[in-house]
Amino acid sequence: MNEINKLERLIESLATQAIAYDRSNKIPQLASRPYFVAMLFKCQSSQLGDYVDETRGLLAQVKHYIAGNSAKTLIEFQCNKLVEQCQAIRKVLSSQTQRYNNYRQDKTSKAKFFANKQKNGGSNFNWLSQKVVHNSRLLYEELSKHHGYQEKLNAKISQLSHQLDSCPTDKKIDMQKQILHQHKRLGQCNKAIYFIEKKIQQLESGKKLYY
């Protein structure tokens, strides 16, 4: 129970820090991404406080298991997950400046990419119909769909990277090729997300949209 009390105090401390983090976060809401893959948190939010709330819920569940004399293996498993969640949240809290710098660099890089595409006579996103491009609701639906693709690709890359660590030497090259392929797909997905976000921003600010 002593360890549970320590975790409870840690989570309350993380909750306070998460509130401050979310208030000072300079990354626009539209450009924010879920902080963690679905394997660690069910929550997929751009607000760090939401993840702390989920961790609080898991702690309450662990307490319930302990009070009900549930299987020791179940309690240990959930406690390990609690620790992993707390460590992940602490890592994000300690890397706020770096995360913002990465966002700025990524934004600059994508802006240059699409500026070059426009110069060369096309955006390569003609799959977006005129109907979708000029309808903010449909654009948000398209954005949500691509965020789903992004999450699945990140999860796949994480899974393959984990498998790479333990796979036989003669299979590592093939595994690395698979990871590279998924990274390329993720890159295209990220570019599509950026394109859709820009269209939403332009539409909502009343600017004329161009391909």
Burial annotation 141-174 (CB, 10 A radius, 16+ → b, else e) = ebbeebbebbbbbbebbeebeeeeeeeeeeeeee
The Cα-based distances of 175 to 37, 52, 73, 109 in angstroms read 21, 35, 33, 28
Q: How many domains does the chain have?
A: 2
**pLDDT the model gives residue 59:** 94
Same domain, 129 and 90: no
Same domain, 16 and 72: yes
Among 40, 74, 94, the domain boundary falls at: 94
**pLDDT the model gives residue 127:** 54
Residue 180 lies in a domain: yes
**pLDDT the model gives residue 134:** 64
**pLDDT the model gives residue 210:** 44
**pLDDT the model gives residue 54:** 94
Per-residue pLDDT of the chain (211 residues; tens, 9 = 90+): 688 888 899 999 999 999 998 888 876 654 456 677 667 888 878 788 999 999 999 999 999 999 998 898 988 999 999 999 999 999 888 877 676 666 666 666 666 665 565 555 454 555 565 555 567 777 888 888 888 888 888 888 888 888 887 888 888 888 888 888 888 888 888 888 888 888 888 777 765 444 4
Same domain, 6 and 89: yes
- Residue 96 buriedness (CB in 10 A; 0-12 / 13-18 / 19+): middle
Residue 61 lies in a domain: yes
**pLDDT the model gives residue 30:** 46
Same domain, 131 and 192: yes
Task: Quote the domain boundaries for residue 133.
Answer: 124-204
Same domain, 78 and 140: no
Cα gap 49→53, rounded to integer Å: 6
